[in-house]
Structure 1
Amino acid sequence: MTFPQRFTGKTVLVTGAGTGFGAEIAVRAAQEGADVAVHYRGSRAGAERTAERVEEAGRKAFVVQADIAERAQIVRLADEVWSHFGRLDVAINNVGDVAREQMSWRDITEESIDHVLAVDIKGTLLCTHEFGDRMLTQGGGAIVNIGSTVVARGSARAPQYAAAKYGIIGLTKSYARAFAPTVRVNVFAPGFIETEATLGREDWKSGRGEQLRGDTPLGRIPRPEELAGTALFLATADASHMTGSFMVADGGYNMIGA
């Protein structure tokens, strides 16, 4: 399979690239010509495998660890990436906690609320802040924050997750205004994705997946590699007049918009 070379000569950072959607975005960026910083928090083996795949695509990989819930670690992450590559053209803030193990709003805990908001809102905000500030200094760049169509339908299962993804829209619009016109900041909102973690969920295995496929106009739930290039679109020259936007790819499940 051939890929468009939208990132030739560019450097791309993907947070949470050890597994799932983040790993596929990192690999797709490499297939499109980018050198890639592969971030992980706990899954070093996964990050190293992603880095191997980046190198198999003929590009350079740099593995970096940080807990994005802590500002000092985000600053260190940025220091390491800029030191290694000299600049960063694209940041994909993919890390997020979906409270996957929670099957009902009745099971919510204060600990889960604090963790989801700390990772999804605080972490994404601080990454956008730190990476964007440095991109302003270097004279350009693009940031894509990974959101969710949960903001369209809400989540009876995990209200804290829906709240966090709403927060990402607010911080994205705020920094899009702050960084314009030098750095663009957008949200990419996928619907359901059949990652290994999703496929392993008990509700998914007991009929939820089949129900969602039936409710989706395009009739299927995509694998993460199918949406990796879509997420990266917001960082390309073809999206040069997009900032502060919310772009959906969910097979028509929500049909949101005007």
Structure 2
Amino acid sequence: MSIDLTGRTAIVTGGGAGIGAAIALTLAEAGADVAVHYANSADGAREVCARIEDMGRRALIFQADLTDPEQADALVDRVVEHFGGLDILVNNAGHLVGRAPLAETTDERWKAIMDVNVSSAFHTTRRALPHLTASSTGRVVTMSSLASENGGGAGSVGYAAAKAAVVGFTRGLAKEIAPTSTTVNAVAPGFIGDTAFHNTFTPGDAQKGIIAGIPLGRAGTPQDVADVTLFLASDLASYVTGQVIDINGGLNFR
């Protein structure tokens, strides 16, 4: 059975690189028009939009700091104005920010971690909800992490806490808006290779050690995450809500 998202509009936050780019392209391949948000990856976002347009879909690029509610509101408003509605929101934007023991984590860093991973999703979703619930196929997909389950690697207490908060946000919102038929689910990637995240924060030897412990014998890819997100955004998942789908090759079981 093929997945057809023709006629639907999606926002993918953090869509200019890595997992977000793969999600944006995968939704477009299934027929969706896609708004690609970015914070800093302007070149990548432009390339993703060009590829979406080459598929014959409509694309919109938008830069915003989603930790700022006014900028998040402007993003959603612009997308709805441009496309005439909104059906799918993928809250992919997030960041580790930096590794540090909790005792050395400043108030500023803690707030930055929570803002970029949790507040950004809150701001964007809040503005998008009236449009998503007005759609007969409204979908919200949030980005958690294996860190929400196992506490993450060294120096990532704040990140693990933020991604656990994303899970609570997902489940609470799923209950709240279930009567509208709009679904809310999360994906929780484990080790996804060839991304700026791990290339920046995980040394090469540590990456090899992690991969050696993965039962399926390989690192995950951005496409692995995109494929699960596509399922959650589709009609096939119309009876799935409030769930967290682990994508970790068997490295951890919930």
Question: What TM-score do you get using the length of structure 2 for normalisation?
Answer: 0.93
CA distance in 1, matches of 2:203, 2:55: 33
Per-residue CA distance 1:165-194 (angstroms, 9 max, x = gap)? 111111111211221132111111111111
Q: Which residue of 2 aligns with 1:114?
A: 111
Once the two structures are TM-superposed, the CA of residue 140 in structure 1 deviates from its matched residue by 4.5
Instruction: Supply the RMSD in Å over aligned alpha carbons.
Output: 1.8
**Unpaired segments of 5 or more residues in structure 1?**
none
Following superposition, the deviation at residue 45 of structure 1 comes to 1.7
> Which of 166, 169, 172 is the aligned partner of 2:167?
169
| Alpha carbons 2:144, 2:167 under 8 Å: kept | yes
| Structure 1 residue 104 displacement after superposition | 4.9
Counterpart among 113, 124, 128 of residue 125 in structure 2? 128
Matches within 5 A, 1:134-149: 134-149=131-146
Among candidates 142, 147, 151, match of residue 150 of structure 1 = 147
Closer/same/farther in 2, CA of residues 102 and 12 from structure 1, 3 Å limit? same
Provide the rounded CA distance (Å) in 2 between the counterparts of 1:52 and 1:16: 16
Write the letter of the residue equivalent to 1:200. N
- Of residues 62, 65, 76 in structure 1, which corresponds to 2:63? 65
Q: What is the aligned partner in structure 2 of residue 191 from structure 1?
A: 190
Q: What letter is aligned with 1:222?
A: G
Pair 1:9-2:35 in alignment: no
- Matches of 1:19 and 1:214 in 2, distance apart? 26
Q: SS of 1:135's equivalent?
A: helix
Which whole-Å CA distance do the structure 2 matches of 1:28 and 1:202 have between them? 26
CA distance in 2, matches of 1:4, 1:55: 21
Mapping for residues 13-52 of structure 1, pairs under 5 Å: 13-52=11-50
Matched residue pairs, number? Answer: 252
Aligned 8 A contact 2:15 2:38 in 1: yes
CA distance in 2 between partners of 1:199 and 1:56 (Å) = 30
Which among 228, 235, 251 is matched to residue 249 of structure 2? 251
Structure 2 letter corresponding to 1:190: P
Contact 2:187 2:225 in 1 (8 A): no
Matched-pair identity in %: 35
SS where residue 91 of structure 1 aligns?
Answer: strand
Q: CA offsets, 1:85-142, max 9 Å, x none?
A: 001111100001112x426556533222110101111111222222123222445511
Question: What letter matches 1:134 in structure 2?
Answer: H
Contact 2:99 2:201 in 1 (8 A): no
- Determine the C-alpha separation between the residues in 1 that align with 2:202 and 2:173: 37
CA contact (8 A) 2:13 2:37 kept: yes
Which aligned runs of 4 or more in structure 1 are off by greater than 6 angstroms? none
Provide the C-alpha distance between the structure 1 equivalents of 2:70 and 2:162, rounded to a whole number of angstroms.
Answer: 21
**1:128–1:175: 8 Å Cα contact kept in structure 2?**
no
Instruction: Tell me the residue number matched to 2:209.
Output: 211
Using the alignment, how far apart are the partners of 1:133 and 1:24 within structure 2?
27
The runs of 5 or more residues in structure 2 that have no matched partner are none
Residue pair 1:190, 1:249 contacting (<8 A) in 2 also = yes
Greater mean alpha carbon deviation, residues 222-231 or residues 195-204? 195-204
2:230 to 229, 232, 236: 232
Contact preservation (8 Å) 1:125, 1:168: no
8 A Cα contact 1:132 1:179, kept in partner: no
